[in-house]
Amino acid sequence: MKLFLLFRLGNDHYALDAAEVAEVLPLVTLKQMPGAPGWVAGLLARRGQTVPVIDMTALATGVPAALRTSTRTVLVHYRRQASEPPRLLGLRLEHATETLRCAPESFADGGIDPGIARYLGPVRHDARGLVQWVRVNALLPDHVHAMLFADDLALPAP
């Protein structure tokens, strides 16, 4: 059995492997990143590091996440390849208030090519309807990865 953090994009349910989740924060104020794609919500300072945050609703639908009490900033362990050390990446997620415990094998290939949404993984059917697994390591296109992780700058102490 594996634990997943559930969230929604519109009425659809999605899941993140909880092993990839470093921390779940309330909705936080971010420093904007001029010149970044609109779905890059900004930067936050966390334990002396700058952490880029992407808005999953904006990435998937083009509309920013609603700023409500169930919207969370979820820090995940992001790595492009298994051989790389993980880096923190923030995800702004709507309705990120539930978890799901199930066998990973209960997710199956949906049979549809996700195209540029390569982060969309297999699906599972339960009482919520279809729940789709989001692959953290496939969230960022190459050019955005290069922009957000050009170097590992630490913020100076205040």
Each of the 158 residues of the chain gets a pLDDT tens digit; together they read: 999 999 999 899 999 999 999 999 999 999 998 988 999 999 999 988 899 999 999 999 999 999 999 999 999 999 988 888 899 999 999 999 999 999 999 999 988 888 888 999 999 999 989 999 999 999 988 888 888 887 644 444 44
In a domain, 154, yes or no: no
Query: Would you say residue 39 lies in a domain?
Result: yes
Q: Per the domain annotation, does 89 fall within a domain? A: yes
Q: Is residue 142 part of a domain?
A: yes
Asked if the structure places residue 158 within a domain, the reply is no
Residue 140 lies in a domain: yes
Spatial CB neighbours of 127, under 8 Å, sequence gap ≥ 6? none
For residue 130, what pLDDT is reported?
A: 95
- Taking the CA atoms of 55, 21, 136 and 117 in sequence, report the sign of the dihedral they define: negative
Which pLDDT score, from 0 to 100, does residue 70 have? Answer: 92
Residue 154 is predicted with a pLDDT of: 43
Q: Which pLDDT score, from 0 to 100, does residue 143 have?
A: 82
Supply the pLDDT for residue 151: 61
Of 140, 147, 89, 125, nearest to 13 by C-alpha is 125
Domain with residue 25: its CATH number is 2.40.50.180
Task: Give the pLDDT score at 158.
Answer: 44
What range does the domain containing 10 cover? 2-148
State residue 73 phi and psi, 5-degree precision: -105, 115
* Per-residue confidence (pLDDT) for residue 115, from 0 to 100: 82
